[in-house]
Amino acid sequence: MAWDFSTDPEFERQLEWMRGFVAEEIEPLDLVFRDPAAHVDPRSPAARAMAPLKEEVKKRGLWALHLGPELGGQGLGQLKLGLMNEILGRSRFAPTVFGTQAPDTGNAEILARFGTVEQKAKYLQPLLNGEIVSCYSMTEPQAGADPGEFTCKAHLDGDEWVIDGEKWFASHACIAEFLIVMVITDPDVPVHEGSTMLIVPHDTPGLEIVRNTAVGPKDEIGSGVHGYLRFTDCRVPEASRLGPVGEGFKVAQSRLGGGRIHHAMRTVGMLNKAMDYMTERVVSRTTKGERLADKQMVQEKIADSYTQILQFRLHVLYAAWLLDRDKTYTRPVRREISAIKAAMPGVLKDVVYRALHLHGSLGMSNETPLMDMWQYVPEMGIVDGPTEVHKIGVAKDILRDVAPSDGPFPTYHVPTRLAAAREKFAAHLD
């Protein structure tokens, strides 16, 4: 088996252009447009500022590279996408400028795989073009992300699905053209047999945004872009169904793996940015007669951060390589994606905290981006499934291939192995 950590020269040239483009043209958008929906709302002033940047990306053939050729992308694969996302993760606006913003990427994947011809014509192409925004609505107030506890239900009344129940933290519901909603259609069977996905247009009667929710305490109650939704006798045509009845869980799983690994890829970019801030600060600031960079405890923080970032990055790229190899979410792919998803908040917490700490009061002020980064630590531990769930999944997958030992002692019990070794080499022993 060949092992190679190099990037082909042509793609490296594209990455180098992206680094400069993101730093010089896109990162300034983060400073000017502070509204939480600015980076995705096609009606915002930021959308006008992004329009020429998107055209430049498309002209260079770098638009929506996560897509296969059948959807207008280049089909470069997850490994190359990982190298790109490391750069895009440095700016809130960059994924939108490059046509890879969540949750639209995952929703496009669902529409491409399970949508009818009519559904694709109405929603998929505008979504791929970046003309509209979508919402993925799965989580519920009482259940969190556990589908087994979902109660938002739908039943078929003639040729209409009637939806009743509540959904929680439905990102971008307030600006979405349509929502993809997971509902329970048969409560008497397990959720993987009794849930269904429905497309709900944003103006459907019976769909109410109870309020919007923001991440963190700094915004007023009712602000933000994560919707608390209520469905009351909300009716959509049977033609709004995505995939077979009862297979909503399968449809959901087809998008979540990609979302998790893409979060991890972009987190590498955020980690690198925090490392840049940390290293610049310690070589610039003097205290107690010497640079911070010359103090051994500071050097330890730099070394630990570098090691953690590199280990995490290589794990992410390995998971991406596996996905390219297997072409689908096989057991090995799912295990590594869960492992990086579980590791992500811990690495982010460690590195961002060190950067904050080394900046002192400046780091905890609103005059550096570090406190904005800090709020992503708990968020990354919750979105797309809590850390504990992924750790349990990884452990179960590892343990299912481990055979128990026979007898009272383990297979590595030294006295037992010593006796066997003596018998094996008896002819050579005195």
pLDDT interval class at 259 (50, 70, 90) = confident
Q: Is the pLDDT of residue 1 over 70?
A: no
The two three-digit tokens of residue 102, written as one number? 């969540």
Distances 315 to 321, 343, 395 between C-alpha atoms, Å: 10, 10, 17
Q: Where are the alpha helices (DSSP H) in 144-247?
A: 191-194
Chain segment 14-67, per-residue pLDDT in tens? 999 999 999 999 999 999 999 888 999 888 999 999 999 999 999 998 988 877
Report the CATH fold assignment for 134-242: Butyryl-CoA Dehydrogenase, subunit A; domain 2 (2.40.110)
Helices (H), 285-295: none
Mean pLDDT of the chain: 92
- Residue owning tokens 């998008």: 255
Distance CA 391, CA 346 (A): 13
Q: Tens digit of pLDDT for each residue in 123-141?
A: 998 998 888 999 999 999 9
Own/partner pairs, 55-64, CB within 8 angstroms, 24+ separation: 56/21, 57/21, 57/97, 57/98, 57/99, 60/14, 60/17, 62/14, 62/18, 62/98, 63/98, 63/99, 64/98, 64/99, 64/100, 64/128
Q: What is the pLDDT of residue 258?
A: 76
pLDDT at 233: 97
Domains 9-115 and 134-242 alike in fold? no
Per-residue confidence (pLDDT) for residue 393, from 0 to 100: 94
Is the model's pTM score more than 0.75?
yes
* Confidence at residue 68, expressed as pLDDT on a 0 to 100 scale: 72
Average confidence (pLDDT) over 173-201: 95
Per-residue pLDDT band at 424 (split at 50, 70, 90)? very high
Q: Is the dihedral of CA 136, 138, 141, 145 positive or negative?
A: negative
CATH topology of domain 250-399: Butyryl-CoA Dehydrogenase, subunit A; domain 3 (1.20.140)
Could you tell me the sign of the dihedral formed by the alpha carbons of 232, 236, 238, 244, in that order?
Answer: negative
State the CATH architecture for 9-115.
Orthogonal Bundle (1.10)
Quickly count: other Cβ atoms within 10 Å of residue 220's Cβ.
8
Give yes or no for a contact between 252 and 138, defined as CB atoms under 8 angstroms apart: yes
> How many CB atoms are closer than 10 A to CB 103?
22
pLDDT tier, 72 (very low <50, low <70, confident <90, very high otherwise): low
Most confident of the following: 103-112, 252-261, 409-418:
409-418
Please check the confidence at residue 217 and state whether its pLDDT lies above 80. Answer: no
% pLDDT > 90, the chain: 75
Mean pLDDT of 144-166: 93
pLDDT of residue 23: 96
Domain ranges of the chain: 9-115, 134-242, 250-399
Cα(404)–Cα(426) distance, rounded to whole angstroms?
Answer: 29
372, 362, 203, 182: which is closest to 287 by C-alpha? 362
pLDDT band at residue 73 under the 50/70/90 scheme: low
Whole-angstrom distance, CA of residue 188 vs CA of residue 153: 12
Per-residue tokens: 196: 């269904």
